[in-house]
Amino acid sequence: MHTFQSTPLQIKFAQADTAEGEFTGIASAFRDRPDRHGDIVVPGAYKRSLSLHSLEGTRPAMLWSHDQSRPVGAWVDLKETSAGLEAMGRLTMDVPEAKSARALMQAGALGLSIGYRVAPGGAEVRSDGVRMLKDLDLFEISLVAIPADTGATIRAVKGYDLENPREFETAVREALNLSSREAKRLTAGGWRAMVRDGSDDNSKELAAIAARLQSITKSLAR
C-alpha cells in the first residue's frame, strides 16, 4: 500500500454574485489503487499546473464530455487536498447542456473527468505496469457519465430551493423528456424508486424511460 502526502494548493477565480448552477466535486482522486486506465495520480501532480494557471490568469475549461466545442460553464475554485483535486464550478445556465447537466447531477448521473498532458519526466511506470502520474498539465475538466476515475464524483449541487422541488422537477422533465408524473417520481426517490414504484406500470412505458436515460448517459461517456 502506498501512503501519500498531499501538497495543499488553491486557485480561485473571479465569480458572479449568484450561486445558481454552482457545484463541487473531486475531479481527480488521490488513492492507492489505479483508475480504469491503470494510472495513479500522486498528490502534488497538479501543483505546477495550478500555479501556472494562477500566474497567467487562465483556468482549465469546463466541457461537456471532453468536447471542446461544448463548454458548459467555468471553474471558480480548484485546490489539492488530501482527497484529491477538489473543484468548484458554475454552470452557465443559458447553455442548454448546462440545464441538462444540472438535472443529471441532481439525479447522481454525472461524474468528473480530467483532460491533461503528462509533463516531461512526470510519469513513472512501476514493475507491475501501473503508471504513477507525478506532474500533469491540466487543460480541462469535463462532466461525464462514466469517469475513468471512480473517485471523481460530484458532491453537491446548488441552485434549487429544496423546500420547493417544483423547479427541479421542471428541469428533470425538460432534460430527460419525462412526463410530469415521471419527473415527480424521479425527484422523490431517484431512478431506483421510479423502477420500484412503477412495477405496476406498463413495462413498455418504463422501458422507454430507461432508453431515454441510457441515450443521455451514452452521449456523455467519453
- Domains of the chain: total: 2
Cell 495520480, located at residue: 41
Tell me if 148 is assigned to some domain: yes
- Return the pLDDT at 181: 74
Domain limit, last residue, from 135, 157, 179: 157
Tell me if 1 is assigned to some domain: no
Tell me if 2 is assigned to some domain: no
- Return the pLDDT at 153: 80
- Return the pLDDT at 222: 42
pLDDT tens per residue, range 155-190: 777 654 444 556 566 666 665 666 777 767 666 665
Cell 480530467, located at residue: 114
More confident residue, 101 or 153: 101
Which residues contact residue 3 at a Cβ distance below 8 angstroms, ignoring those fewer than 6 apart? 32
Domain match, 121 and 199 both: no
Q: Which amino acid is at 42?
A: V
Domain match, 124 and 171 both: no
pLDDT tens per residue, range 6-54: 333 334 344 444 467 899 999 999 989 999 889 999 999 999 999 999 9
CATH of the domain at 78: 3.20.16.10
Long-range Cβ contact pairs of 187-192 (< 8 A, separation 24 or more): 190/107, 190/108, 191/107
Q: Is 146 left (phi over 0), alpha (psi -120 to 50) or beta?
A: beta
Domain match, 36 and 141 both: yes
- Residue 68's CB is within 10 A of a number of other CB atoms, namely 12
Q: How far apart are CA 105 and CA 39, in angstroms?
A: 26
Domain limit, last residue, from 102, 126, 157: 157
- Residue 192's CB is within 10 A of a number of other CB atoms, namely 9
Domain that includes residue 186, residue range? 166-220
pLDDT tens per residue, range 90-132: 999 999 889 888 888 888 888 899 999 999 999 999 999 999 9
**Torsion sign across C-alpha atoms 158, 164, 165, 168:** negative
Q: How far apart are CA 88 and CA 10, in angstroms?
A: 11
Q: How far apart are CA 75 and CA 90, in angstroms?
A: 6
Which string of b and e fits 10-32 if b means at least 16 CB within 10 Å?
A: ebebeeeeeeebbbebbbbbbbe
Integer-rounded Cα Rg, in Å, for the chain is 19
Tell me if 123 is assigned to some domain: yes
Tell me if 201 is assigned to some domain: yes
- Return the pLDDT at 53: 95
